[in-house]
Structure 1
Amino acid sequence: MSNERLRAAVVGSGQSVATVAEQVGVDRKTVERWIVSGRVPHRTHRVAVAQLLGEDDVFLWPETAADPRTVSASQAEFVAIHPNRGSVSIDTWCSLLDTAAESIDLLAFAGSFLHDAVPEFDDRLVSAARRGVRVRLLFGDPDGEAAARRGQEEGIGELLAARCRLTWAYLAKILGTPGVEARMHDTTLYTSMFRFDETLLANPHTFGTAASHSPVLHLRRIDGGRLFTNYLSSYERVWERARVAS
């Protein structure tokens, strides 16, 4: 059977079969066989194609999910677990912000702790943007249904929406800074995410409990691993649905 996911990913990325073949280092007919005949490439080529197209390799080739090397790489991405968000040291947050070289992607409802606990948080974001880092801020719409629902579930009523509003008030002074992009989301949020280049801190949410009480997974991207890519793909989906903050 043909691989329609791969075909759609190639088209959606603006690539062609020829350019994919050239970038990955294979013959054009090889890529055509991957699409038309559903051939599964070797792991090295799967990883290269997935990175080129901005997709998860297991999404493009679902039958490889149980590949022992994929499982092993995913396990290797797991660096540590923190029992709650407060157990991630302030020094860790500062170091991640100050050493990021390419990307800072933040996703939460309010993320109030960033302004409360991280010294000069906004200034650190501006400094990162000035040294060429792409900074994307993705926080909750204070007037949205998702923040209201989450506040009710946590038993804090309108307080979460108020925190979202306060976060946007703090960020107002840096919106418009070159390199800083910001959007408001109204999405059911299962995990808060804090990405710094190849490092990602994922803070899962549990029903009726504040995110700060839940563990934080410390992940580091490894080629062929699925954890980092899975969370980052989720970030991208929320980003695409969110509206530009002004």
Structure 2
Amino acid sequence: MAGHSKFKNIMHRKGRADAVRSKLFSRLSREITVAAKSGMPDPAMNPRLRLAVANAKGESMPKDNIDRAIKKAVGGDADTYEEIRYEGVGPGGVGLIVEVLTDNRNRAAANVRTIFGKNGGNLGQTGSVAFMFDRAGQIVYPAAAGSEDAVMEAAIEAGAEDVESDEETHTVYTAFADLNEVAQALEAALGPPKSAAIAWRPKSLTPVTGEAVAALMKLLDGLEDDDDVQNVYGNHDISDEDAEALN
């Protein structure tokens, strides 16, 4: 297990805190409702719901919000949401995977296509980008959870496949099928994670420099602002110098 990457799910990016947090809570609530509706409303009996609730708690979402999202599903008054994946290429040749949870497929498709088109990207067919990524479990801990060596040791003991650490987070990767088992073992060793989910992990990174950095960030910000978008994954690698220049 080794390696450091600047790749991050945009859900973990900083900035515009209040607006981003409001949208984050909305997305977390939607995932909880869908998870509860698709299986048992008891997190102990529903792995997807258990992860959704844990992720909400990791983002300090109030318990009342969590309970309300579950009750929506149990009461039968929840909207019917459809899970859709879009794939495309952004500025600098970056591969992007956009996961959507929507009650209106036509609206979601039009919005995602427009965001790509207005920001130097091109939306592709299903499968046009996914081959650049692996489907994997992703468990995120804040840097304060422990030293890089301590987290690495705990991850190895838990059966994880890889760990990437930086100044803000430790990201533990697992095999697709091992996420729940590894997450439970890590929680026993390190405490509750910030998030745990099935994610798209890039097989390799694409360096992005110069003007393409700003264009890519505008595209990612546009996707992040869309209410139907749940997650965005990319294989971009931006240097510290270019990131500082953008800021």
TM-score of the superposed pair, with normalisation by structure 2:
0.25
Instruction: Using CA pairs under 8 Å that are at least 6 residues apart, name the structure with larger relative contact order, 1 or 2.
Output: 2
**TM-score between the two structures when normalised by the length of structure 1:** 0.25
